Amino acid sequence: MFNSANELEFLEETTAEISQLSSLALSGDPACSENSSAGSPEKTGYPDSVYILAANIFQGTRLEKSPEKALIKYGNEPLPSSTESEDESFQRLSYELAFSALKYQDILETILIDSYIFPSTTIPDHLNSLIIVMLYDFQDRKFQARLLSGNEESIAEVLEVENLLNSFKTKLAAALARCRIKHDALSIYHILPETVRNQELRASTLPLYAWINTCKISPEEVYYTLKKNGYNKVKSVLHIDNKVFAVDQHCYDVLIFPSHLKSDLLNIDLFKDYKLIFQDKSRSLAVHSVKALLNMDDDILMVNTGSWYTVAHMSVLTNNNTSKIFVCGVQSQAKDPDLKNLFTKMGCKNIEILHETFMKLELKDHRLQKVKVILLLPRCSGLGVSNPVEFILNEHEDTDLLKDFSQGGPSEDKLHVLAQQQYEQLAHAMKFTRAQAIVYCTCSVYPEENEAIVKKALEFQDHEIKVQPYRLSPPVLPLCSLKEIHLSTDKFFRMEPSEITNGCFISVLTRERDPSETVSVKDVLARAAAKGLLEGIELGKSSKREKKKKKQKMSLPKSSIADNSGIQMKIAEFLSRETNVSANQPETLTTKTSLPQKNTNQVGSSSQVRKPSKPTTNPLVPTIMKNTSARPHERPTNFVRSRPEDRMIPLKPIEIALPPVILPFPSPQGIRSHLPTPHFYYRWVGPKTVLPGYLSTPSILRRGEKPKENLPSSLPRHSRP
């Protein structure tokens, strides 16, 4: 301890600085400024159990220094914690307090040395971690006394450290003021590295993301309930302080809320009943990528899922399928009842827990025979996440990440270790022969954990396995902005950390198509016909002669055009003579009428080539003449035959269609082979133009004997070439 003269001199030097204690706390901290602007009450401290748990977290994650630079020695023994530390709210408070102490570890140690607490006191080394976390909270409360609740049980170690800090209150405040002046900072918050400050700034404004549990409620019901509670639906929640929400552009079942509404939202029954679940958007993007690759009966294998809410979200998206979700890595079977109880409350039924780690899963495990998609969420640095506490608690990540976050990123050695683990897991996933796709997702912004891992795994994949190799596929998620399109040009889906979302990286790997499994159009039509989907449609066989004739149709010889005038005269005489016969003897047309056919093309099937010498009965002529036999003096006005199916039936085309009789072409076979055949289909919808060699309808009517007023109104008109 110090003598009275030294203490008096020390107080005289720092009197002016102590008068401004109210401004010495973390006034620049976004969290503090947010709370003060919202009119929240002054901080009163934490329960004793929170301090104990925070001290243990700090003890395991603190930045270790070399012995010659270590000013304070920390013990290796953890402090005994109470059962309250297992509560989720207590854990969140403890992690936040420990993370804050980690960020300011150097500054807090300097304050303790400068205030002469060390080495003047004889406090045990294992309590030094508790001193650090309680000192941070003490200065954050502006060195005001902690308010204790009446029913709270006190812990002896906490009371001992609290009394020590209160006795050095003035000296601690003066040391804090000198530290701020030394760094020329408005507050010690501005002493932090810029990367850490930017991360905290994003964390204070980052919107909240929650996905809808469609097993229990529909999106429309959620919108209605939120509206009843005063929430209005908008397109964007940025810079809006009111009670609003928006629908995410990438995931149709994800809602976005302003960050300051979390405490109010937790009191709504939608969140209490697991109808809305808070979770980082990157996990929703991952499960939606898997959903886009699934068939109705495909199973899924999830690796390193972290949060059980991710598994539940995957189960909800596949609720209408027969898919089963396998989750590996749950080593403790004691958690099974709690997990099953959670999934039951959320309405999830298709989840099966595997207690083996992913690397120990056998490739031919009978339980995984129907697994077609593997979702791989490896441990990563997570530097794309703004709030590391939420990331660690929700994804069950290692607390060592707090150290990396507090320093602005992991060390090179740590990054190399993580990258090696990620590569080994991805390479192992590619060995499952029955799997057809892999979704690889991280929350990192380092290429060493993202693109480099995927490219390395694709390059060194085992080609000796008798399956098709994997290839990089484009993103299956919608790209909603030009920036996203630009970031995805190399087939990777990326989202950079911003004020609206955390960072995210997604890669989709799919197996190349096996050439032996390529299905032709002919095979597809044959399968459809076997299932009765092509009823009434005749499937023909394609031939080389058809392709040859098709090429001949593309180029019409000039010699055939030169003989058009002679051909037209013969056609006109023949039709005039046949028209007179048909007018006197209409009954003869109701009998057999044969037309030689050259080509038969059908819609949706291959063509059939038949010889012209074999006549084929045209099914259209008897039907038409049956309708006209009762009234021979009138011409039919409608050639459409009603069918009960009321659908288009492809009919065989004919060479020429002139009312009321359809007759073959009288020209020589050599000439006809070079003329293109016009195709007429059901309902008599014919081409608007007639190729050379055919007479137009008006010319025939001028030579015929029947007047113009008896012409049918629905006949197609053909213009001269």
Residue positions annotated with a catalytic role: 443
| 390: nearest Cα among 531, 246, 500, 280 | 280
How far, in Å, are 42, 574, 658, 700 from residue 561 at the CA level? 100, 20, 21, 20
Cα–Cα dist 656/704, whole Å? 18
How far, in Å, are 80, 522, 538, 544, 671 from residue 608 at the CA level? 88, 14, 10, 11, 21
Cα–Cα dist 38/20, whole Å? 23
What is the SS3 assignment for 373?
A: strand
Cα–Cα dist 656/679, whole Å? 9
| 434: nearest Cα among 550, 335, 299 | 299
Cα–Cα dist 218/319, whole Å? 13
- On the question of a cis peptide bond just before residue 660, with omega within 30 degrees of 0, the verdict is yes
Token readout for 480 is 């909603």
Element (H, E) at 69: none
β-bridge mates for residue 616, sequence order = 595
DSSP 192: S
Q: Are 597 and 652 in contact (CB under 8 A)?
A: yes
Cα–Cα dist 348/367, whole Å? 19
**What is the sign of the dihedral through the CA atoms of 299, 301, 302 and 308?**
positive
How far, in Å, are 22, 328, 520, 577 from residue 165 at the CA level? 18, 48, 81, 124
β-bridge mates for residue 212, sequence order = 276
Three-state SS annotation for 302-324: EECCCCHHHHHHHHHHCCCCCCC
β-bridge mates for residue 506, sequence order = 441, 493
List % helix, strand, coil for the chain (3-state, nearest 5).
Answer: 45, 10, 45
Q: Are 304 and 454 in contact (CB under 8 A)?
A: no
Residue 208, φ and ψ in degrees, nearest 5: -95, 140
| Single-letter residue type at 394 | N
Cα–Cα dist 218/196, whole Å? 40
The distance of Cα 79 from the centroid of its chain, to the nearest Å, equals: 44
Residue given tokens 């003035």 in the structure block: 170
Residue given tokens 């949706």 in the structure block: 604
Token readout for 328 is 């590996």
Token readout for 69 is 């630079």
Token readout for 376 is 């791989």
Strands 608-609 and 599-600 turn out to be antiparallel
How far, in Å, are 199, 405, 496, 655, 697 from residue 690 at the CA level? 75, 79, 63, 11, 10
